[in-house]
Structure 1
Amino acid sequence: MDALQHACDAHIHVFDPRFSETLAADDMSSVAAAADDYRRVQPHFGTSRVVIVTPRNYDVDNAVTVDAIRQLGQERARGIATVRPDITDRQLEALHAGGIRGLRFTLYTPDHAPTRFDMIEPLAQRIRGLGWHLQLHWTAAQIVEHRALVERLPVQFVFDHFARLPLPDALTHPACALVTGWLREGRAWLKLSAPYLDSRSGAASGYADMNALARHWIDVAPDRLVWGSDWPHTSKQPPPSPRSIAATQRAWFASPAIRQQILVDNPAALYGF
């Protein structure tokens, strides 16, 4: 795929056998998913920048992510960490120096969740001075349930994976209106990533049933969207091919102006490239 200068893949995970996993979350033992492995895949996506998200397997040990940022270079890589409120200010500052720019709360399922909802506000206050944001992998139902919590957040927040709106009624789900409002207010961002999580039509169709939702978000707030490959696709085994991921990206971003905005300008603003 032709590269767009400074295009960013805003969502990958690195699994490196040099770092011990402490939670039995995703079985990636047979998958090559270290920083060097991503280097070989990245040209298929047409990107040169990347955001590495600490996987659940490492609990709140973000060393694997910081090391991957170092290997890829901070001029091209940023990270999203997972922590709990007992982290010290000095440790947060060290993560910032290592390229971390946000905290993720993967709460869509209680299984293997390293954090809890009651940790979100205290940590949001702690990271405000660093200029970080929160990355929320929640179900659509959780977004509705915790609307008041989201409204109170003192920092920007990013919804993972299309905000996990369920098909076929994604556009009429109450969470859709909430997320749309936060995007339009300039408080939220959203990742166009991992369409296979909620698609019913599957890989053979190129996840075509997600296209209407992608178009909705592009129409609503093109200045608040980023794109991510979700490599190495921990929730989809066997994983989709890099070629199919790139084809889906092209289908969503038909306009050169939209490609520039979502792949380059937006992630530069959100992650501080």
Structure 2
Amino acid sequence: MTDFIEATLSPRRPRFTLPRGACDTHCHVIGPARSFPYAASRPYTPEEETDKTVLSALHERLGVDRAVIVQATVYATDNRIVLDAIADRPHARRGVALVDTSISDAALQALHDGGIRAVRFGFVRQLWTPPDPAEFQALMHRIAGLGWHVLLHLDATALVELQTMLDALPVPFLIDHMGRIDAGAGLDQPGFAQLLEWAQRDHCWIKLSALDRISATGAPFVDAAPFARALLEASPERVLWGTDYPHPNPRHPVLHDATLVDVLPLCGDARALHKLLVANPARLYGFVD
């Protein structure tokens, strides 16, 4: 274990070599603020700028070939920074937007043309203001025509409460960050049992991202691996992986993202990891070799 910790915390390339076509499906670009000013109503102010150049360098170091850039909440619904980052590598990048439910069809089409393939909404009340249910469902029917899905930031324990809404969705939904479970509560915790149950449903995808957030022990985050493995085994065709770089509001410090890559062999075998890292994101986001 000592060698594992030293290797994963070192500021070097990861020990584990990602397969060709590997995709980081949850990362953010922030800055420069002079070009992309933060929203006045932002929930926090970033301590540093991690722009598209920084993200590209990180992914080169990790061995990531593709990326899905998720709009950072500090920009609210101004998605220009995501579109700008996609435009640099349109064959290898897609995006997830934050939008108002009143957005026009023309604006949705413009986002689609720029590489956006999903919208994100939050149902964690201390972090987000959940959308009006009727307006939310109306928007879901509109994005269905674009072939999009919806990314949901929620607690797994809320899945029962949200079941009626989720069952009515006309698009696939993707649960962020493994439903914000806490590895310290064990594999038998009610929220994780619900997450495993939902993983069996054809329209539910789960993102095995932010392992540092669910870890109770901190780096190298190995206590999160059994949860990722269980989800990968339960739903091998509908799971994705992401770093959550640059880790806004972290639970534990991530000294180097190689740490998150080096946990992957503990989560599944080579075949399972290829689905997680390459095949599944290529299918959902339309990446083509």
Scaled by the length of structure 2, the TM-score of the pair is 0.86
> Match for residue 3 of structure 2?
none
Q: 1:239 to 1:212 in 2, by over 3 A?
A: closer
Q: Residue 212 of structure 2 contacts residue 254 of structure 2 at CA under 8 Å; is this kept in 1?
A: no
Deviation, structure 1 residue 156: 0.2
Q: 1:109 to 1:240 in 2, by over 3 A?
A: farther
Whether 1:51 and 2:68 are equivalent positions in the alignment is: yes
- Percent sequence identity is 32
Deviation, structure 1 residue 151: 1.1
- Unmatched 5+ stretches in structure 1: none
Higher deviation after alignment, 149-158 or 1-10:
1-10
Q: Residue 42 of structure 2 contacts residue 76 of structure 2 at CA under 8 Å; is this kept in 1?
A: no
Q: Which amino acid in 2 is paired with 1:70?
A: A
Give deviations 1:97-124, integer Å, cap 9, x for gaps.
Answer: 000000101332434x365252431221
Among 251, 259, 266, the residue aligned to 1:251: 266
SS at 2:273's partner residue? helix
Instruction: Tell me, in whole angstroms, the C-alpha distance in 2 between the residues paired with 1:163 and 1:117.
Output: 21
> Match for residue 38 of structure 1?
55
> Match for residue 185 of structure 1?
201
SS at 1:158's partner residue? strand
Higher deviation after alignment, 210-219 or 164-173:
164-173
Instruction: Tell me, in whole angstroms, the C-alpha distance in 2 between the residues paired with 1:115 and 1:185.
Output: 23
Among 26, 37, 43, the residue aligned to 1:25: 43
Scaled by the length of structure 1, the TM-score of the pair is 0.91
Q: Residue 221 of structure 2 contacts residue 260 of structure 2 at CA under 8 Å; is this kept in 1?
A: no
SS at 1:223's partner residue? coil
Among 85, 89, 97, the residue aligned to 2:105: 89
> Match for residue 209 of structure 1?
223
Deviation, structure 1 residue 170: 5.4
> Match for residue 4 of structure 2?
none
| Mapping for residues 96-245 of structure 1, pairs under 5 Å | 96-111=112-127, 113=128, 116=131, 118=133, 119-169=135-185, 171-203=187-219, 206-236=220-250, 238-245=253-260
Q: Which amino acid in 1 is paired with 2:140?
A: A
Q: Which structure carries more helix by proportion?
A: 1
Superposed CA RMSD in Å reads 1.9
Instruction: Tell me, in whole angstroms, the C-alpha distance in 1 between the residues paired with 2:183 and 2:192.
Output: 12
The total of aligned residue pairs comes to 267
Deviation, structure 1 residue 171: 3.7
Task: State the 4+ residue runs in structure 1 displaced beyond 6 angstroms.
Answer: none
Q: 1:250 to 1:51 in 2, by over 3 A?
A: same
Instruction: Tell me, in whole angstroms, the C-alpha distance in 1 between the residues paired with 2:84 and 2:186.
Output: 38
Q: Residue 153 of structure 2 contacts residue 179 of structure 2 at CA under 8 Å; is this kept in 1?
A: yes
Instruction: Tell me, in whole angstroms, the C-alpha distance in 2 between the residues paired with 1:150 and 1:166.
Output: 23
> Match for residue 266 of structure 1?
280
Q: Which amino acid in 1 is paired with 2:223?
A: D
Among 30, 35, 54, the residue aligned to 1:15: 30
Among 17, 20, 33, the residue aligned to 1:5: 20
Deviation, structure 1 residue 131: 0.5
Q: Residue 183 of structure 2 contacts residue 227 of structure 2 at CA under 8 Å; is this kept in 1?
A: no
Q: Residue 239 of structure 2 contacts residue 280 of structure 2 at CA under 8 Å; is this kept in 1?
A: yes
